Amino acid sequence: MLTPVADGVFVHRSDLLRNNTVVVQGAEGVLLVDPGITGAEMQCLADDLRDLGLPVVAGFATHPDWDHVLWHPELGDAPRWATADAASFMRDLRSQPGWRDRVREALPPEIVDEVPVEPFGLLTALPADATHLPWDGPSVRVLAHPAHATGHAALLVEGCRVLIAGDMLSDVFVPMPDLEGAADPLADYLVGLDVLAGVADEVDVVIPGHGSPGDGTGLRERLTRDRAYIEALRGGGEFRDPRIDAPEPGWEWVGDLHAGQVEAYARRRAGEADAAG
């Protein structure tokens, strides 16, 4: 079901991880951001758009995590934009022998047979100097930053004052810095938060990759909460974050995600100390 969140902007919610597919209405069709996550859900999305007479004319993947580079044949063959780094990451993955098996191994087991793999990660890199998406619709500014994952970017739908945040500013997941791939993941995450804070005065609605949309006040609260979490992770301080606890039965694993990050960063700091000593 498409839920309006602003004039010409809709959200289609996935059940498993509360993923938000964002639909932005343009002159000749829609921009589709991070569609997902099962084939049935994407088919439902395609049916809803078809019933409204709204073809998909452009796509965008905010970053190359598996649940943000999905697609379905029924959504058509519109260009699926991403930052150059995100597109390169997916191109490299798809060039490797056995990439389909690797993708399937990354999927939650309960949906492994429900996700179309062939169109996975077929992204087109934005031009290097692009500051906005090339499409016939509301002006959409690309806010690239190094937080969370290679080639991450948020989108600001300028006329609608909507921030599409990708995997940041969630009300159900704690911040997830790239502890495995980045040279300085916590500093990178703070840079990303600074980028998003820099447009806060231009935002009335924020849509996270997972969780519930919020308003402008909620955006500032989420920025403050995420910064506090990263600072506690970096300094070894006390975490005062309600997202560490399960939002409902069946979500106890979110606490495990937090605990895993604390352990992983402690190992990282120990390794850096050993290397320096």
pLDDT in tens, 139-161: 999 999 999 999 999 999 999 99
CA distance 229 to 238: 9
CATH label of the domain that carries residue 127: 3.60.15.10
Q: What is the per-residue pLDDT for 64? A: 97
Q: Determine the structural domain holding residue 149 and report its residue range.
A: 2-276
How many domains in the chain? 1
Contact 48, 40 (CB under 8 A): no
Q: pTM higher than 0.85, yes or no?
A: yes
Q: What is the per-residue pLDDT for 269? A: 82
Structure-token pair, residue 71: 């697609």
Nearest to 171 by CA among 236, 254, 107: 254
Bond preceding residue 37 cis, omega within 30 of 0: yes
Q: Which residues of the chain have pLDDT under 70?
A: 273, 277
Tokens 């290397």 found at: 275
Contact 215, 221 (CB under 8 A): no
